[in-house]
A = this chain, B = another copy of it.
Amino acid sequence: MNRTTAPTLHDVARMAGVSTATVSRCFNLPDRVSAKTRETVMRAVEELGYTPHFGGRALASNRSNTMGAVIPTMENAIFARGLQAFQETLGEAGITLVAASSGYDPAHELEQIRTLVGRGIDGLLLIGAARPDETYAFLERRRIPYVMAWSYQAGHAGCFVGFDNRRAAMIITRKVIELGHRHIAMIAGITNNNDRASDRVDGVRAAMDEAGLTGRDLRVVEARYSLNSGRRACLELLETKPHPTAIICGNDVLAVGAITKAKELGLRVPGDLSVTGFDDIELARAVEPKLTTMHVPHRRMGQAAARALLAIRDGATDCPGTLLKTQLIMRGSLAAPA
């Protein structure tokens, strides 16, 4: 057992007394090999602790059995959760995941995509649709199958596995208006290069219009994805007159930050101020009052994205995209204004 280098197909072949071709077939086309030889070969494989070399395999087969994913950051629970499901589903199909993050920066995203493509990925998961043409051009030129998740842009070319952010935001806003709120504010995520965030703002605006409320009745501030940003944004909104009676937030983290700050300021939630979230992460049930929010099926989305990519790999001609449903979850943080 003094091997200093990993065993190769050749070593296995020699040990089993067959050709390398046969050993290879044992892995890739097992039924084209007699049961007896297969058994001999597998014994040798065991004994040597042989594992196929990825590089050689990719080179010869022009397939890597690898899918890539570039997400904004793993620190955001919704992406972590989706990525986990994505990876699990891929794993069941014998595919490994290479992951990278863009830090919400389109230029960095392209750079990461370039790296992954160089690695020979068979498919790619991206988040949202907001990126420069250059990125799409690169993907097309290299013929890399990709799906975009967390969004669903009907007019946009490409394959989406996501939901209608605008519509979901409309639904939650309608509910707020229906309860009687007229002075409404929004704490949005950073909308620059982020179609999920900007679609949600659009949705809120659309619902306001629909109800005959004007832009003057809606104040929007943007905030980074953190509890503290939510707190700061909430404070900023409460310093203007007339006070909003409801704050619609672009995600749960901002909403929880806002609730915390409001309570610190002596406001009762939802008595003095209603707050809504978006995503329905675990945090939504940990805060008091529990958060009224829009449930997004993050895990199902990750699974669907994986299945879409696998379908394309297996020759699916048209886009196997999926429009997922979100669901308004009424909890304690939204009520009629006093």
Contact = CB atoms under 8 A, between A and B. Distances in A.
Interface residues of A, number: 58
Interface string A195-210: 0000000000000000
Interface string A270-296: 000000000000110111100000000
Contact of A114 (B4, B51, B141, B288): B51
A6 interface: yes
Contacts of A80: 74-75, 77, 80
A80 B80 CA distance: 7
- Each complex incorporates copies of this chain amounting to 2
A99 to B, nearest CB: 5
Given A80-B77, A84-B73, A117-B51, A227 B285 contact: yes
A329 B20 CA distance: 60
Nearest to A90: B100
A145 to B, nearest CB: 14
A66 to B, nearest CB: 8
Interface stretch (A56-64, A150-158, A181-189, A235-243): A56-64
A256 interface: yes
Nearest to A285: B227
Given A59-B56, A119-B96, A283-B286, A74 B84 contact: yes
Contacts of A215: none
Interface string A74-96: 11010011011001100100001
Contact of A56 (B6, B55, B98, B283): B55
Given A51-B115, A75-B81, A253-B282, 10 more contacts: A49-B142, A52-B118, A54-B55, A54-B120, A55-B64, A80-B80, A87-B100, A256-B286, A260-B286, A286-B286
Interface of A: 1, 3-4, 6, 49, 51-59, 64, 66, 73-75, 77, 80-81, 83-84, 87-88, 91, 96-101, 112, 114-120, 138, 141-143, 226-227, 253, 256-257, 260, 263, 282-283, 285-288
